[in-house]
Amino acid sequence: MTTGALRELLACPRCDAPLAEGGTVWRCAGCDVDFPHVAGIPWLFAEPNAALDEWRGRLHFSLQKLERERQQIAAALAGPSLRPTTRARLDGLERATRDHEVRLRALLAPVELEQRSATYETYLALRTRLPPDQGLTTYYPNIHRDWCWGETENNASFETLATALRDVPPRRACRLAGELKYGISCSSIVTSPKPFSSNAARHSSSP
């Protein structure tokens, strides 16, 4: 989209007046407010600088939380009594978490998070909110939980639940039971068996 076409669409969020382009900002002459660009996207908030500062804090906190979790995984890896499969899973999780942090930091580079210096503890004390649940990091824990176990543990989980749910009528159980009943390969969604699954298998045929 050309600058001219974009100008026809944009309006000040405070007074609804047209905006004028001014280099790296869009400007409302009536409100005397400049709206910055973030990665080329107009940052149209009523208080643009305050909103940008808030989001920098929230995203910086999110990165610090991610690094905190990686450190906790690394500490668990240092334990002397881990089983080989547990150690392999934690090692994969630690590497994946580190890689995700690097990629996420690069993706958020236009927001200039390096301007923030607050510590993880400071964000907790200030009750800084993380980004909304339905957002960039919504399913992040599930990705690592479900995909870093490896085929050995995935197959073991599959066999365990397949056995438990073998006699469950699909129409009366959850979708997972139906998929297992008909032998569909779905190991990626059965890597975390919980008591609910066993209870569903045990009681789903009850009146």
- For the chain, list the domains and their CATH numbers: 3-42 (2.20.70), 49-147 (no CATH), 151-190 (no CATH)
pLDDT tens digits, 59-75: 898 899 999 999 999 99
To the nearest 10 degrees (0 to 180), the angle between helices 195-203 and 151-164 is 30
To the nearest 10 degrees (0 to 180), the angle between helices 48-77 and 84-107 is 160
Handedness of CA 182, 186, 189, 194 (dihedral sign): positive
Contact criterion met (CB below 8 Å) for 48 and 27: no
Which tokens hold the place of 77? 């890896």
pLDDT < 70 regions, the chain: 1-4, 131-150, 165-207
